[in-house]
Structure 1
Amino acid sequence: MMKLNLEVAQTVDSSPVIVVDLDGTLTPVDTLHETVLQLHRTSPQAAIGLVQALRQGKAAFKRHVAQSLSLDGALLPLRQDLLEWLTEQHELGRRIVLVSAADQAFVDAVAAHLPFRVDAAIGSDGLANLSGEAKLARIREMVGENFVYAGDAAVDLPIWRASRGAILVGRGMRFEKRLGDVPVVGRFPQEGGGPLRAWLRALRIYQWPKNLLVFLPVLLAGPMAGIGDWGQAVLAFLMLSVLASAGYLVNDLLDLAADRQHPTKRSRPFASGALPVAHGVAAVPGLLLVAVLLGLFLPLASLLVGFVYLCGTLVYSFFLKKVPMLDAIVLASLFTLRIVAGIVLMTLPWSFWLLTFSMFFFLSLALLKRFTELREVSQSPDRELRRRGYTTDDLTLLLSMGSSSGIAACVIFVMYLMEEQFSRSIYASPEWLWVILVLLLYWLGRVWQLAVRGHMNEDPLLFALRDRVSHLIGLGAIVFILLARAA
């Protein structure tokens, strides 16, 4: 623990000491919540002792967590505007003290990676929990009455009221009217676009259009699908989307450390601290409950397919995505499950031609995604796609397998037309469906050409959602299906 030199503190200048809180203030995250969550994933045995430690008090609980799991202060997101201001004040000779209810080990880990040296870093010691009045008593013991305090929560009100000035950070802005005569010497409002925008990002709403595949069997069923089938498809779409969002939350909550080391994933809401992990943990069972309620209005088979999909996405996220080639096959299977969720809505026979087509088609797109990622890292020194198991030596293999899978999908589509659609006489003029084959060949050839030239987004489906040519091709396919039904 870093000690405050009181003699120096009294002689440097008469400016108030800047006392800074850690959780929610210097960093937007709650270090205790994050480490408890990480402990359950990395050391389940240590997590078992949490209940016993909690019986000994909150400080003992924090010490148990700190002894079981270290905190990487270098990866912890810090509030940049506050950090820059503190750095400026330090350069002006102001004394800065870091005092937190977090365990001493966590406070030291953060203090060691600050761009300036704090005069003291004080945290809970396993006996006393430095929060509220207890923190105020410790601050007075260390620096006296001449201090300003940076905090963010209601528990900080006694400290603000005893200070020479309040520094309001994040959610602490809402307590300004409760400070009485204490002047506000600094305001650092919540960064980002607010909680609503953060939740939309965390739930990956932009990924929901992938679940529109559930409508495909209903669309291809032609006149054999009624209004009720379309209504159930809407419910199935919502159920799959909610389950997918729950899976994304679980993935992000359990992968915080890895995300913070990634150049783009570090900006995700939980990794960046835009959303508290406790809120994410609470949201997961809420989303699952919503999915179950939606599933009550669907056939049981559809609900079961939805939860198989959820389990599959979690197994993929934490294990299978690290196995080359198998990861692409699993991705194709997950997309095919979306179609299965639509098939089981109706009493029609299963179309295994359609499912086979889906596997080959989405295998091509999954390999396209890996090809694009590898092509981007081909200029890096290690020439390896970390955490995926691919190297740039696999580029030729991915290109050949991906493009041939696309051609296989087109062949299967022809067989689907010849063996099912023509023989079952579902469509009045099924010959219009042959035009879709041309559109499919063109689209697959185009996206692979763009990938080879380096113009493809990492996710080809998200690319298609923003690509005008893809929009026209998709619209054309729907038009020709309708022509086949009505002509």
Structure 2
Amino acid sequence: MNVKDIARVIRPQQWIKNVFVLVPLFFGGSLLDTTDIIAAVTAAMAFCFISSSIYCLNDIIDVEDDRRHPTKCHRPIAAGKISVAQAYVMMALMVALSFGSVAMLGGYALGVGAVVGLYLLMNVAYCLVLKRYAILDVCTIAFGFVLRLFAGGIATGIGLSNWIVLMTFLLTLFLSFAKRRDDVLKMNQTGHAPRKNTSRYNLDFINQAITITATVTLVCYVMYTVSPEVEQRIGTRYLYLTTVFVIIGILRYLQLTLVDNKSGDPTKAMLHDRVLQAVVLLWFLAYLLIIYILR
């Protein structure tokens, strides 16, 4: 067992997903508050470790299926480079590190710990049962990102707008459906379903689901930016100007999904697509300018 194999099991490259824990910090206007920054980053680390524990469990449960898969057979556990017993030890260590991070949050530790615990239980259920059922699988994944949002809000004491919660759920649901579309394409090409529930999806359904969730996500963002509650808390009425970048970002991802058929991994798309990176950067700078400088 070497460091490279351990990294392939705990998947640190997927930790970028836990940036959602920092969302309340950014949208709440506390990006310059050192205390809130430390609390949010600590909560994010707790989610990094707990999500890695789930990756360990997922590979343990799927080990026999992975051994029969043409590419997944090279995963460390399936290939025998890491034993199932060692993987359970790694999982336990990740859980311990997660709750150790939570314990550093002082008065907010109980609330964040409850959210992390719920995330752990939900994802154990996902690995064992829920991932077998179409629609329920993507909804479970999306709710996991909402829990990240709640953890960040609790850790910093920042209240969450209803619109931001809905937008987070819908955005991650949109990305999850786009990822399932890639599975359907592979099933249609090879006749083999990458997941047990892939046969319960088809391109017509997936395309409509992607369109619906993308549309409602955009509506939620617009409603968030013009919400009187948000305008009063942030102290500006110009947030709606950032909508243009959200529209471009969603359209770009739709292009990658529906035209280029490159929706298999949202994390990889974000890390490698220069257009998406530029749009996110411009959105970030515009939002930063409006709520931290011009208000």
TM (norm. structure 2) is: 0.91
TM (norm. structure 1) is: 0.57
Which residue, 162, 165, 188 being the options, matches 1:355?
165
Aligned to 1:216: 23
Aligned to 1:314: 124
- Contact map agreement 2:146 2:168 (CA 8 A) in 1: yes
Corresponding position: 1:263 with 2:66: no
Amino acid corresponding to residue 323 of structure 1 in structure 2: Y
Evaluate the alpha carbon distance shift between residue 283 and residue 297 of structure 1 in structure 2; reply closer, same or farther with a 3 A threshold: same
Amino acid corresponding to residue 182 of structure 2 in structure 1: T
Shift of 1:421: 5.8
Amino acid corresponding to residue 464 of structure 1 in structure 2: M
Shift of 1:396: 1.0
Which residue, 339, 355, 360 being the options, matches 2:149?
339
1: CA distance, partners of 2:32 / 2:162: 18
Which residue, 455, 467, 474 being the options, matches 2:273?
467
Aligned partner of residue 149 in structure 2, secondary structure: helix
Aligned partner of residue 378 in structure 1, secondary structure: helix
Q: Greater RCO between the two (CA within 8 Å, min separation 6)? A: 2
2: CA distance, partners of 1:272 / 1:256: 9
1: CA distance, partners of 2:117 / 2:13: 21
Aligned partner of residue 158 in structure 2, secondary structure: coil
Amino acid corresponding to residue 138 of structure 2 in structure 1: A
Aligned partner of residue 345 in structure 1, secondary structure: helix
Aligned to 1:445: 251
2: CA distance, partners of 1:379 / 1:287: 37
Aligned to 1:476: 282
Aligned to 1:290: 97
Aligned to 2:205: 397
Q: Rg bigger for which structure?
A: 1
2: CA distance, partners of 1:348 / 1:249: 32
Q: More helix per residue: 1 or 2?
A: 2
Shift of 1:434: 2.5
Shift of 1:225: 6.7
List aligned pairs for 1:77-476, cutoff 5 A. 195-223=2-30, 226-298=33-105, 299=108, 300-381=110-191, 384=193, 386-391=195-200, 394-420=202-228, 423-427=231-235, 429-431=236-238, 433-476=239-282
2: CA distance, partners of 1:435 / 1:287: 41
Deviates more, 1:208-217 or 1:295-304: 295-304
2: CA distance, partners of 1:204 / 1:321: 19
Shift of 1:386: 4.2
Aligned partner of residue 315 in structure 1, secondary structure: helix
Shift of 1:455: 3.5
Number of aligned residue pairs: 290
- Contact map agreement 2:256 2:263 (CA 8 A) in 1: no
List aligned pairs for 1:36-51, cutoff 5 A. none
2: CA distance, partners of 1:349 / 1:326: 28
2: CA distance, partners of 1:223 / 1:464: 25
- Contact map agreement 1:385 1:391 (CA 8 A) in 2: no
Amino acid corresponding to residue 404 of structure 1 in structure 2: I
RMSD: 1.9
Amino acid corresponding to residue 312 of structure 1 in structure 2: M
Evaluate the alpha carbon distance shift between residue 214 and residue 386 of structure 1 in structure 2; reply closer, same or farther with a 3 A threshold: closer
Shift of 1:420: 4.5
Q: More strand per residue: 1 or 2?
A: 1
Evaluate the alpha carbon distance shift between residue 297 and residue 220 of structure 1 in structure 2; reply closer, same or farther with a 3 A threshold: same
Amino acid corresponding to residue 127 of structure 2 in structure 1: S
2: CA distance, partners of 1:277 / 1:295: 27
- Contact map agreement 1:302 1:345 (CA 8 A) in 2: yes
Gaps of 5+ in 2: none
2: CA distance, partners of 1:308 / 1:246: 14
Identity in percent: 26
